Amino acid sequence: LDAGFVTRGDWKTGNYAGGWEGDYRWTETAEGGSAVASWTPGLAKPGDYEIYVWYNSGSNRSTQAKYTIYGRNGAESFFVNQQQSGSRWLKIATTALLPGVSRVELSNDAPSGYVVIADAVKFVYLGASDPGEDPVPTCAATGGKGTALPFGLMLLILALWRAMLGRTRPASQRCTSRGR
């Protein structure tokens, strides 16, 4: 498996044609489902990234595969029709990410009777989100002792830190776009 890729729940391995580097994981959909595949990239620096997904399409795939991106601006969900546009990189978003905490998750929470495919995610660095932006304080990212904080707590600390400095940007100025 790729470094930074983990699953929770009942995922099986598939190897039909069109999978990235040979195989992929799949699970059945279920409304309110709790199976999750997660990709945490080894990002070198914070900034804006394009996020692409790869899956092999098929008629038994979900038309509402839910990808959630956890980035600098919180969690954003995007829905992908996995019956179409498979076996190629499909851009789902451009958003600001932070090293060590940002991730992409695919959930099986979709109408039942289908499957979702967890194959590959690509992160393409575009540059700094805001050239005058202050870096993430070390204590917020690591707890000051090299211990990772829960993602939500880290975002809260970061938001408070920025608010104290008066550098909070309104939602209309955040560097995100929604792709479907």
Q: Which one-letter amino acid corresponds to residue 161?
A: W
Q: Do residues 110 and 160 both lie within one domain?
A: no
Which stretch of DSSP H or E encloses residue 162? Answer: helix 151-165
**What is the tens place of the pLDDT at every residue in 46-56?**
999 999 999 99
Give the domain CATH number at 62.
2.60.120.260
Domains in the chain, number: 2
Q: What's the domain range around 141?
A: 134-167
Q: Do residues 126 and 163 both lie within one domain?
A: no
- Does any domain span residue 161? yes
**What is the tens place of the pLDDT at every residue in 124-145?**
999 998 655 544 433 333 333 3
Mean pLDDT of 113-119: 97
The three-point CA angle 154-157-159 to 5° equals 110
User: pTM for the complete prediction?
Assistant: 0.72
